[in-house]
Amino acid sequence: MNISIIGAGNIGGSLGKIWASKGHSIIFGVRNPKSQKTLKSLEGLETVAQVMFIKEAAKKSEVIVLATPWEAVPEVVFQIADMKDKILVDCTNPVHPNPEWPLSQGTSAAEEIAKRLPGFHVVKAFNTLGAANLYDVQFNSVKADGFLCGDDPGSKKIVTQLAEEVGLRAVDVGELRNAELLESMAKLWIALAHQEGVGPNIAFKLLQR
């Protein structure tokens, strides 16, 4: 599968490396493929992935993974808005306000993205655990859960496969309107990991009898 990852940060870099090891073709889409910041971020990934400008990368893949800070999302959406029939996996978390795209109560970053990209099937995923945990999702005797939601069953099936290739137990929480809940889970993860002193080696698990 051709997968474009927009953003060269920890989440995008980790997912790209893992999926490349599973045989997928990975392209990183960035503002400037030659910048020192990008080259440093993607150090060690040169042999498993290509690096291109955002729009060029997005055109070449059926799955686009959005793994940028929330404040960078409007620029990315502007560049890919004319494309159709793409799956967009939204990993973003609106931790800091974005004056360009203010979020009202009861909505989510994923829903705002979907409104502006009518030709895309948006799936919220990979936003509720830290990047370092993606390399080892086993916590004692259980696997961490990878929560996802979206409105298109076919797209969610593909994202479920990608989550399972990372090693996560995929948990479908319903339609895209539930993305707000996953973004709130991410805020809870951040609070526990970095504000309450629990540390980042944590993940959420849905327990069932």
- Owning domain of residue 38: 2-195
The CATH code of the domain that includes 82 is 3.40.50.720
For residue 94, being part of any structural domain is answered with yes
Count CB-CB contacts under 10 A for residue 105: 5
* H or E element in which residue 25 lies: strand 25-30
E-assigned strand segments in 61-176? 63-66, 86-90, 120-125, 138-139, 142-143, 145-150, 169-172
For residue 206, being part of any structural domain is answered with no
Where residue 26 falls (left for φ over 0; alpha for ψ -120 to 50; beta otherwise) is: beta
The reported pLDDT for the residue numbered 202 is 96
For residue 201, being part of any structural domain is answered with no
Q: For residues 111-139, give the mean pLDDT.
A: 96
For residue 89, being part of any structural domain is answered with yes
The reported pLDDT for the residue numbered 168 is 98
On average, the pLDDT of the chain sits at 93
The closest alpha carbon to 19, from 168, 182, 122, belongs to 168
For residue 126, being part of any structural domain is answered with yes
Q: What is the pLDDT of residues 11-70, one digit of tens each?
A: 999 999 999 999 999 999 999 888 887 777 777 777 778 999 999 999 999 999 999 999
For residue 111, being part of any structural domain is answered with yes
Alpha helical stretches, state H, the chain: 10-21, 36-41, 54-59, 73-80, 109-116, 153-166, 179-190
Please tell me the total count of domains within the chain: 1
Query: Taking a C-beta distance cutoff of 8 angstroms, is the pair 153, 172 a contact?
Result: no
The closest alpha carbon to 15, from 30, 28, 33, belongs to 28
For residue 151, being part of any structural domain is answered with yes
For residue 28, being part of any structural domain is answered with yes
Q: For residues 189-193, give the mean pLDDT.
A: 96
Under DSSP, the state recorded for 158 is H
Under DSSP, the state recorded for 194 is I
The reported pLDDT for the residue numbered 36 is 80
